[in-house]
């Protein structure tokens, strides 16, 4: 699924379409006042004040009909430059536009006109509204003016526009598919997680979710052990003094949960880094110890605005698959190469492709010597090159304390998610006075890397739910097999034996011996997206076989039980997708 905001042609087209929608709204609702109509990844929206009028679902069709008239009329879109006084006079009856104009400097303020409609805008726009005929209004909602809950609620209408009807149709198909895959819906239906008003933004993992989570975490530990990581666990709450040392108290306090303990201020950790630094300082280190890789599945808490919360994608508590790696400066390139290879292996095991972005030094706010920045950026770029990976440079988007590589994974619908990060840090080793003993006996400052692969376990599970549409590969599936006897009384004994054999061989298998029709029970197993259903009747019992059916298939196959077990073991051990 394309990111419209990142696509220059589509971005211009969608912003122009937002203006065309506003023109249609103004015709239908003459009292309408307009705030802003930006392009977003999914298309565009416009925030509108309609007075006492409230947009309903059926109103979108009326607005679309008026938009089609405007597009068919084919008026040119004309750019005009006006002064601030002219702008205030032109939009004087719209308090939202006046608010925008007052923040602009006098000079070349631009607006765009099509027919009777004119709107304040930087542009650019397409040449004519007739280029905007392939559009669709998607939904509507309320939105606080300027995102402030103390302000008035405006009507927000979302839409999307494409050059051709075919591209629009394909995009709408993907949107429908995304709805079916919505992790909040599937998470509830498959018993993976739930949310509660008693803990907003803090997910409850249900039994199936805990199986899935434990598999992922065990996989994480196994793979990191192969890469010679050490593992730590740091406290979830630490004192104000630590967060002052790390800089979080001054720069991140409003997002932290704070409590008094024995007349001292403590904060629940929003990040794992300071704890890892204290763990490093617990011992003496020599250049021979490097690179020193310390991994932690650390739970953090961050106060997110209630309106931003979104299932597992935006939460207030989550577990980062953190690692903090300490090394000599001359080890940066080789360690990053090793990390890229490691991340590549993890994503490949889940069928996820990705691209890399290199974010470089901010123009103004940064710490450290310029030469160190240049050397660090060059090391990250060289590591990508030597690992055979292309990368896109994101100029000036590094953190103030160091450059980074971001890994944007692509799911089965083509949507991108930023998950993995390799971040060089020149700040915290200095703040915490980290040292190691060099070969000549002198003390030196280590280089530090922050690194995540999943990013957040919770968010990554949400991504996997949507990527697989709930049909997890057998090695990840919370339940791998459903054993279904044809008749309750007649075939129950054999079904119990088969189920127990599967359980004893380490498979997640259950028996459905309810007194329901066979077709109903098979359908239930398919809806639960269990990879294998085993049907057992007279023939299977007589021959010691099982008839298997895949969740997404219609054909069935009959195999000896031991052959099925061997096949299943191979599939799980090889982590087939």
Q: Is the dihedral of CA 389, 394, 398, 403 positive or negative?
A: positive
**Assigned token pair, 18:** 């937002």
Q: Is 320 a catalytic residue?
A: yes
Q: Is 324 a catalytic residue?
A: yes
- List of residues 6+ apart from 365 with CB closer than 8 A: 400
Phi-psi region of 568 (alpha: psi -120 to 50; beta: other; left: phi over 0): alpha
Phi (first) and psi of residue 476, to 5 degrees:
-100, -20
Q: How many CB atoms lie within 10 A of CB 218?
A: 10
> What is the C-alpha to C-alpha distance for residues 16 and 230, in angstroms, rounded to an integer?
54
Q: Kindly name the residue from 23, 114, 155, 320 that is annotated as catalytic.
A: 320
What burial letters (b/e) apply to 233-246, b meaning 16+ CB within 10 Å? Answer: ebeeebebebbebb
Q: Is 302 a catalytic residue?
A: yes
> What is the C-alpha to C-alpha distance for residues 248 and 458, in angstroms, rounded to an integer?
23
71 bridge partner residues:
none
Q: Kindly name the residue from 273, 316, 411, 529 that is annotated as catalytic.
A: 273
Q: Kindly name the residue from 450, 459, 521, 549 that is annotated as catalytic.
A: 450
Q: Kindly name the residue from 171, 324, 451, 549 that is annotated as catalytic.
A: 324
> What is the C-alpha to C-alpha distance for residues 20 and 16, in angstroms, rounded to an integer?
6
Phi (first) and psi of residue 568, to 5 degrees:
-65, -40
Q: Is 281 a catalytic residue?
A: no
Q: Kindly name the residue from 49, 59, 321, 322 that is annotated as catalytic.
A: 322
Q: Kindly name the residue from 33, 224, 302, 361 that is annotated as catalytic.
A: 302
Distance of CA 108 to the CA centre of its chain: 39
Q: Is 263 a catalytic residue?
A: no
Q: Kindly name the residue from 404, 451, 467, 529 that is annotated as catalytic.
A: 404
Q: Is 140 a catalytic residue?
A: no
Q: Is 161 a catalytic residue?
A: no
Q: Please classify residue 144 by burial: count the beta carbons closer than 10 Å to its beta carbon, then call 0-12 exposed, 13-18 middle and 19+ buried.
A: middle
Peptide bond into 208 cis (omega under 30): no
Q: Enumerate the active-site residues.
A: 273, 302, 320, 322, 324, 404, 450
């Amino acid at each position: 699924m394309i990111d419209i905001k990142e696509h220059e042609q589509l971005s211009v087209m969608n912003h122009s379409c937002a203006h065309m929608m506003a023109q249609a709204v103004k015709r239908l609702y003459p009292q309408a006042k307009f705030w802003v109509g930006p392009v977003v990844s999914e298309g565009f929206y416009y925030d509108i004040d309609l007075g006492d009028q409230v947009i309903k679902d059926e109103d979108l069709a009326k607005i679309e009909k008026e938009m089609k008239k405007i597009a068919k009329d084919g008026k040119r879109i004309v750019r005009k430059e006006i002064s601030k006084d002219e702008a205030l006079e032109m939009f004087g009856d719209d308090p939202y536009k006046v608010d925008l104009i007052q923040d602009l400097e006098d000079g070349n303020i631009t607006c765009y006109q099509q027919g009777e409609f004119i709107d304040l805008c930087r542009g650019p726009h397409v040449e004519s509204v007739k280029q905007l005929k392939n559009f669709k209004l998607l939904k509507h909602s309320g939105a606080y003016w300027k995102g402030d809950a103390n302000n008035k609620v405006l009507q927000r209408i979302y839409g999307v526009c494409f050059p051709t009807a075919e591209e629009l149709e394909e995009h709408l198909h993907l949107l429908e598919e995304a709805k079916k895959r919505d992790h909040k819906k599937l998470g509830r239906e498959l018993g993976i997680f739930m949310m509660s008003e008693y803990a907003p933004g803090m997910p409850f993992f249900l039994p199936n979710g805990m199986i899935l989570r434990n598999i992922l975490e065990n996989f994480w530990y196994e793979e990191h052990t192969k890469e010679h990581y050490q593992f730590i666990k740091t406290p979830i709450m630490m004192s104000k003094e630590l967060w002052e040392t790390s800089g979080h108290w001054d720069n991140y306090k409003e997002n932290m949960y704070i409590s008094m303990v024995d007349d001292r201020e403590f904060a629940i950790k929003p990040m794992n880094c300071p704890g890892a630094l204290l763990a490093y300082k617990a011992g003496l280190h020599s250049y021979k110890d490097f690179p020193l890789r310390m991994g932690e599945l650390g739970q953090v808490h961050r106060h997110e605005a209630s309106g931003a919360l979104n299932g597992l994608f935006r939460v207030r508590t989550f577990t980062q698959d953190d690692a903090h790696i300490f090394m000599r400066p001359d080890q940066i390139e080789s360690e990053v190469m090793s990390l890229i290879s490691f991340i590549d292996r993890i994503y490949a095991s889940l069928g996820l492709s990705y691209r890399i972005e290199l974010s470089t030094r901010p123009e103004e706010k940064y710490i450290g010597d310029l030469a160190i920045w240049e050397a660090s950026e060059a090391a990250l770029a060289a590591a990508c090159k030597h690992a055979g990976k292309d990368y896109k440079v994101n100029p000036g988007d590094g953190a103030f304390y160091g450059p980074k590589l971001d890994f944007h994974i692509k799911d089965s619908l083509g949507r991108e998610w930023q998950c993995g990060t390799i971040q060089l840090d020149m700040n915290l080793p200095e703040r915490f006075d980290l040292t190691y003993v060099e070969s000549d006996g002198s003390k030196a400052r280590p280089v530090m890397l922050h690194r995540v692969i999943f990013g957040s376990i919770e968010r990554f599970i949400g991504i996997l739910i949507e990527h697989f549409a709930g049909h997890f590969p057998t090695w990840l599936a919370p339940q791998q097999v459903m054993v279904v006897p044809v008749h309750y009384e007649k075939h129950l004994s054999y079904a119990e034996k088969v189920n127990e054999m599967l359980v004893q061989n380490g498979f997640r298998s259950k028996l459905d011996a309810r007194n329901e029709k066979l077709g109903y029970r098979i359908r239930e197993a398919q809806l639960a997206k269990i990879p294998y259903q085993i049907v057992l009747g007279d023939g299977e019992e007589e021959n010691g076989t099982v008839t298997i059916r895949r969740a997404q298939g219609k054909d069935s196959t009959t195999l000896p039980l031991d052959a099925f077990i061997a096949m299943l073991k191979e599939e799980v051990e090889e982590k087939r997708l």
